[in-house]
Amino acid sequence: MTDLRRPRVLGQSPRRVDGPAKVTGTARYAGDQRVVDPAYVHLVQAAVARGVLTGVDVSAARLVDGVLAVLTPDNAPRLASTEDAELAAFQSHDIAFRGQVVAAVVARTREIARQAAALVHVEIDHESHDVHLSADRDDLYAPEQVNTGAATDTERGDVATGLAHSPFTLDQTYTTAWYNNNPMEPHTTTALWLDGDLALFDSTQGVHTTREATAKVLGLEPRHVHVIAPHVGGGFGSKGTAHVHVVIAAMAAQAVPGTPVKLALTRQQMFALVGYRTPTVQRVRLGCDADGRLAAIAVDAVGQTSRIKEFAEQTAVPSRMMYAAPNRRTTHRLAALDVPVPAWMRAPGECPGMFGPEVAVDELASACGVDPVEFRVRNEPAVEPESGKPFSSRNLVACLREGARRFGWEHRDPAPRAREEDGWLVGTGVAASTYPVTRTPGSSATIRCTGPGRYRVRIGAADLGTGTWTSLAQVAADALGVDFGDVELLIGDTSLPRASVAGGSSGITSWGSTVVAAAEAFREEFGADPAEGDEAGAEMPEGSDEYAMHAFGAQFAEVRVRVDTGEVRVSRLLGVFAVGRVVNPRLARSQLVGGMTMGLSMALHEHSVVDERFGHVVNHDFAEYHIATNSDVPRVEAHWVEEHDPHTNPMGTKGIGEIGIVGTAAAIVNAAHHATGVRVRDLPLTLDHFLDRP
């Protein structure tokens, strides 16, 4: 066991380095970059969910003054790789989902591009489509593996026997909705093709991964693709992989060499083109004894994927490590439908996958008369249940205890529907959170002395609001043993050393370990008093997989349900997390509170409603796809327990970008049950669940 460095700058709360530029609006995002006389791209989408494109008539569009080019499957250049079907723009006449891009207009102004796009006449032989997700379909299939490379199914012991011998059992089905990431910045690419080189100002969570994906599709050497993303207006996974608009922006740029082109997706287009969280159906079976000790845990998860590209949400994966039980089973099945390609959305797997089981635990605890905090404490595993590995640190119990204390849980009357205030039924609930510590290989960093006591740290990392500009500089300062102000950090550009994508809450673990290694290499080579221009670098060191590494948390919710109308309000959320060492408390609190707020939004509001007759999300804007507004979120608190974990990385951190959304919806649903006696198993928690009930 190694010991962690004594923190100096780590643990302090410098304000955001990029903050002044952001509060004044001078920070330049992908659509804000200064380019000379740009052209604009507007996309044309298929209005049917399955069929064959028989004709794209661009004659009227071409006649509009100011139109520079119109790309369609009939005239677009052939791409070097169509292996990733999502990125194979204009390479086929097959329509695989409603909203697929069938043409792109390049024009002198936004207005002209949009006008001409409306004049493109598209003919499609419509075939019957199928977008209906159900766990009862007879064509569900088992993917080879699920997201993150985890096994599709697992089994330990015998669930049937475990359930048969349990005095208390539960067998319920829970569903989560289709959710769209909806970062505030629509996906935008500004592209310039000049002398065989492609420059992309892109809203991306990874400049290098976007470069690699784009170069492969276009058949370019990666060194000929330059991707720049100093600021990213949120991503939540939807900017974690390149989507088709990046390829189309590049093709449009190649169609007008020397002219920069700007392609900004509309909010509506984002509902079909940049990924989303699959709806899930989760059958949960649990069995326990009279003391609430689990004998069996089984989770069978069903999700959807597209017909052209598989994405398998790892919904049942958190149930493999959360609670102890000798008999356990998890499965994942998919329906391949005529739908847009699902992808990452904040805490894929854990977020939907901790909904069903954490509501189920509340139901079973209630059935056997054990307090739901205590129930969870009693089912703490000594080692990771399926792998048998020791935990590097596991402080779920501390989070539950500390959360209960702060929330005032001890005064709770467990009886449902026991508290009414001014026409509102009031209840409280709890759920657990977890998220794995992910270390993504493939980063490197350099450190250069730029003057007496001054250092420049270079790594192509990303800041999508996560605070990388600030927190990674703090990591570097401690690794070099200098003050925060002595470090100049450069990120967000492929001219910098390669960095892994900002995904899986892996940023600080991966980039931070790399920066620490580079600092060690620098000090080893140049000592404490380097000369200006001295430079050293390092790759991310390999880690050990000796330990099971996860962050944990406990979330408590107070919910009010209006007796007359069923209106649901979350009057309070309180989370306590065990996330290793916290790099910057000011920024960390924002991340955790932000995740919880998105969890509240998921619980109460969000639901992409699919019209199965036509195959598209009908509520494809902010007027109808509701996300939480300021007045929906009166009180959210995030706290953390001290946690010393010498195994995760040299800083002792665990990722914090995603755990905040995990378990929130379950805590809210459990609180709503306590308030009303109505058990909701299908999100969102709309008022109709609470009407027409005795």
Partner 1 sequence: MDGDIELRVDGRRRRLRVDTRTTLLDALRDGVGATAPKKGCDHGQCGACTVLLDGRRVITCLALAVAHDGAEVVTAAGLARGDRLHPVQEAFLERDALQCGFCTPGQVCSAVGVLDEVAAGHPSAVTADLTGPVELTDDEIRERMSGNLCRCGAYVTIVDAVRDGAR
Please report, as ranges, the residues that interact with partner 1 according to CB under 8 A: 15-16, 18-29, 31-32, 34, 109-112, 115, 182-186, 231-234, 236, 264, 266-267, 464-467, 586-587, 589-591, 593-598, 601, 621-623, 627-636
- Nearest distance from C-beta of residue 450 to partner 1, angstroms: 23
The closest alpha carbon to 252, from 314, 299, 190, 324, belongs to: 190
Q: Write phi, then psi, for 390 (nearest 5 degrees).
A: -70, 150
**DSSP code of residue 694:** -
Cβ closer to partner 1: 36 or 528? 36
Cβ closer to partner 1: 185 or 384? 185
Cβ closer to partner 1: 517 or 568? 568
Residue 633, class by beta-carbon neighbours within 10 Å (0-12 exposed, 13-18 middle, 19+ buried)?
A: middle
Query: What DSSP line would sit under 105-169, residue for residue?
Result: EEESSHHHHHHHHHH-EEEEEE--------TT-TT-B--SSBGGGB-S-EEES-HHHHHHT-SEE
- Nearest distance from C-beta of residue 65 to partner 1, angstroms: 12
Looking at residue 398, its amino acid is A
Name the E strands within 256-413: 261-264, 280-288, 294-306, 327-337
Give the max Cα distance, the chain: 78
Cβ closer to partner 1: 113 or 341? 113
- Nearest distance from C-beta of residue 265 to partner 1, angstroms: 11
Distance (Å, rounded) from C-alpha 604 to C-alpha 113?
Answer: 38
| Cα three-residue angle 239-440-385, rounded to 5 degrees | 110
Cβ closer to partner 1: 29 or 391? 29
Residues with Cβ within 8 Å of residue 527, at least 6 apart in sequence: none
Query: What DSSP line would sit under 382-398, residue for residue?
Result: SS-TTT-PPBS---HHH
Cβ closer to partner 1: 128 or 630? 630
How would you list the strands of the sheet with 454-458, edge to edge? 487-490, 454-458, 444-451, 535-539
Termini Cα distance of the chain: 58
Q: Is 658 a catalytic residue?
A: yes
How would you list the strands of the sheet with 550-562, edge to edge? 420-421, 424-436, 550-562, 568-578, 636-640
- Nearest distance from C-beta of residue 231 to partner 1, angstroms: 7
Distance (Å, rounded) from C-alpha 547 to C-alpha 294?
Answer: 24
- Nearest distance from C-beta of residue 165 to partner 1, angstroms: 44
Cβ closer to partner 1: 561 or 587? 587
- Nearest distance from C-beta of residue 605 to partner 1, angstroms: 11
Contact between residue 164 and residue 234 where contact means Cβ atoms under 8 Å apart: no
* β-strand partners of 420: 425
- Nearest distance from C-beta of residue 538 to partner 1, angstroms: 29
- Nearest distance from C-beta of residue 178 to partner 1, angstroms: 17
| Cα three-residue angle 224-228-230, rounded to 5 degrees | 165
Cβ closer to partner 1: 3 or 37? 37
Cβ closer to partner 1: 11 or 441? 11
- Nearest distance from C-beta of residue 603 to partner 1, angstroms: 13
Residues with Cβ within 8 Å of residue 614, at least 6 apart in sequence: 48, 49, 98
Task: With H, G, I as helix, E, B as strand and everything else as coil, classify residue 616.
Answer: strand
| Tally of residues, the chain | 694
The closest alpha carbon to 115, from 123, 107, 127, belongs to: 107
Q: Find the catalytic residue in 313, 384, 643, 658.
A: 658
Q: Which residues does the annotation mark as catalytic?
A: 658
